[in-house]
């Protein structure tokens, strides 16, 4: 039986479910498009469904993956970005006792600072920020140099190494001098950048299920897999024709995290010292494409359509922002072509509006306003 499609505002939805939105502990860096605030809603929305296996196809911070794993689902966490699969491996796969990680992290916190490759390219003395803008103070990049070198020297298995690298990136995130990404750095030191880098043991999920982590483009990751539910949170892109694609791309926003994961000291370019493979021409995602194809359709919309069609899942939960590439009408068609829309939620963190939005078409009117976020629950044909 299919449900009558309804459009709810998230806050009202949480009230009408008669359950207190529960807080599942998750950890993660500051990240463009992080769904931290949506986690209780996502969990409420999928709770009535009979599902066990869930794909988090664009996992980013992996906060949604962590919450799903903590809620008893078996999770496949995938993202094309290296840092995301490093986090997922840490939070979903690490098996060693916490005391084992604590011992290593205590030792890393004691490492003597050294001036190395990271300090050269990403650190500077507090008084030198006017010479070149940098994401961290030198005292902290000198710790980064020492700690990253020590992690390699330890030669742990890959998962345990990922735990230490995640701990290092989490620690760097709270002493950074950025607006939440590394495509530009602040002119004046942020207050937090004066703090000392301090690593903590990540809050690893311990669950009965064996989870699965991949670091692939989504179309490769879903090959030969099937799920009860696929949660899809592709990059938003931008409707602004004038915005160059490099400004909205994850590879360029978080380039330095890839370097810390790989510790490969890559060739760098540009004012913010981006790794060379973060160039638009070298790391391409159709979901971040701002252009139209020959038929006049946005390439990003085509990618979403192709993905919804190809993913082997009974249910699809799609996150979508009205600032994104997909136009509302086009997306509506894609969803209808592929199944039955069970629910549409409009995320409204500030106002509490629900009135008059009873039918699916109403979301299209609403999506004309910028920065509206929606969740679509689709039962596939
Ligand atoms: C909106 S963010 C996801 C945020 C995530 N749900 C969270 O809560 O942190 C979009 C993610 O898509 C990833 N991405 C971009 N193109 C991709 C592709 N072709 N396949 C898989 N992941 C991709 C980016 O690396 C980014 O992490």
Domain that holds residue 172: 95-201+257-284
Residues 368 and 311 in one domain: yes
**Which of 34, 284, 287, 311 maximizes ligand 1 atoms within 8 Å of its Cβ, making it the mutation to test the pocket?**
287
Residues 114 and 5 in one domain: no
Residues 212 and 309 in one domain: yes
**Phi, psi (5° rounding) for residue 340?**
-110, 125
Residues 275 and 215 in one domain: no
Residues 276 and 299 in one domain: no
pLDDT at 369: 66
**Tally of domains within the chain:** 2
pLDDT at 138: 98
Residues 370 and 268 in one domain: no
Tell me, in angstroms, the distance from the centre of ligand 1 to residue 339's CA. Answer: 24
The CATH number of whichever domain residue 6 belongs to comes to: 3.40.50.150
Tell me, in angstroms, the distance from the centre of ligand 1 to residue 363's CA. Answer: 24
Count of Cβ atoms closer than 10 Å to residue 238 Cβ: 19
pLDDT at 290: 79
pLDDT mean for each 10 residues of the chain (381 residues): 46 53 86 92 94 98 98 97 98 98 98 98 96 96 98 98 98 97 95 98 96 98 98 77 55 96 98 93 82 86 93 96 74 90 81 40 65 89 89
The b-or-e profile of 355-372 (16+ CB within 10 A means b, else e) is eebeebeebeebbeeeeb
pLDDT at 346: 85
pLDDT at 349: 62
Tell me, in angstroms, the distance from the centre of ligand 1 to residue 161's CA. Answer: 23
Residues 247, 73 contacting (CB under 8 angstroms)? no
d(CA 116, CA 149): 10
Contacts of 322 (CB under 8 A, 6+ apart): 328, 366, 367, 368, 369, 370, 371, 372, 373, 374
Ligand 1 atom nearest the C-alpha of 236 is: 1
List, for residues 184-219, the tens digit of each pLDDT value. 999 999 999 999 999 999 999 999 999 999 999 999
Residues 230 and 122 in one domain: no
Tell me, in angstroms, the distance from the centre of ligand 1 to residue 334's CA. Answer: 20
Residues 7 and 54 in one domain: yes
Residues 337 and 243 in one domain: yes
Ligand 1 atom nearest the C-alpha of 28 is: 9
Residues 177 and 61 in one domain: no
Tell me, in angstroms, the distance from the centre of ligand 1 to residue 375's CA. Answer: 16
d(CA 112, CA 167): 18
Choosing from 284, 303, 332, the residue where a domain stops is 284
Residues 43 and 125 in one domain: no
Tell me, in angstroms, the distance from the centre of ligand 1 to residue 23's CA. Answer: 23
Residues 274 and 356 in one domain: no
Tell me, in angstroms, the distance from the centre of ligand 1 to residue 32's CA. Answer: 10
Choosing from 284, 303, 333, the residue where a domain stops is 284
d(CA 165, CA 160): 9
Q: Spell out which residues line ligand 1, taking CB within 6 angstroms.
A: 31, 33-35, 58-61, 63-64, 79-81, 84, 217-218, 233-235, 250, 285, 287-288
**Which of 60, 183, 245, 310 maximizes ligand 1 atoms within 8 Å of its Cβ, making it the mutation to test the pocket?**
60
d(CA 35, CA 292): 27
| Alpha carbon nearest to ligand 1 atom 23, residue | 80
């Amino acid at each position: 039986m299919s449900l009558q499609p309804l459009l709810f505002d998230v806050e009202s939805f949480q009230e009408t479910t008669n359950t207190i939105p529960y807080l599942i502990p998750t950890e993660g860096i500051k990240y463009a498009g992080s769904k931290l605030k949506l986690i209780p809603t996502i969990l409420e929305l999928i709770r009535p469904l009979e599902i066990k296996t869930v794909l988090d196809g664009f996992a980013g911070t992996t906060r949604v993956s962590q919450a799903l794993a903590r809620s008893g689902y078996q999770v496949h966490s995938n993202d094309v970005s290296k840092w995301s699969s490093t986090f997922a491996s840490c939070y979903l796969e690490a098996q060693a006792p916490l005391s084992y990680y604590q011992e290593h992290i205590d030792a890393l916190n004691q490492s003597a600072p050294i001036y190395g490759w990271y300090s050269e390219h990403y650190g500077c003395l507090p008084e030198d920020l006017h010479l070149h803008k940098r994401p961290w103070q030198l005292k902290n990049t000198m710790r980064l140099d020492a700690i990253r070198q020590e992690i390699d020297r330890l030669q742990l298995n890959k998962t345990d190494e990922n735990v230490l690298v995640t701990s290092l990136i989490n620690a760097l995130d709270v002493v950074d001098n950025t607006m939440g990404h590394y495509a530009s750095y602040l002119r004046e030191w942020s207050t937090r950048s004066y703090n000392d880098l301090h690593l903590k043991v990540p809050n690893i999920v311990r669950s009965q299920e064996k989870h699965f982590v991949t670091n692939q483009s989504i179309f490769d990751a879903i090959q030969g897999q099937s799920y009860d539910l696929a949660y899809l949170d592709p990059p938003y892109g931008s409707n602004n024709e004038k915005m160059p694609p490099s400004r909205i791309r994850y590879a360029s926003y978080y380039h330095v995290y890839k370097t810390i994961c790989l510790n490969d000291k890559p060739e760098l370019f540009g004012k913010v010292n981006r790794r060379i493979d973060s160039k638009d021409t070298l790391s391409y995602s159709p979901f971040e494409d701002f252009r139209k194809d020959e038929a006049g359709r946005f390439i990003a919309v085509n990618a979403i359509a192709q993905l919804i069609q190809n993913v082997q899942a009974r249910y699809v939960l799609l996150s979508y922002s009205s600032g994104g590439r997909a136009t509302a009408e086009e997306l509506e068609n894609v969803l209808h072509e592929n199944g039955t829309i069970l629910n549409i939620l409009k995320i409204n963190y500030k106002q509490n509006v629900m009135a008059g939005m009873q039918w699916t078409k109403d979301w299209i009117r609403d999506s004309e306003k910028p920065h509206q976020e929606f969740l679509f629950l689709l039962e596939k044909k």
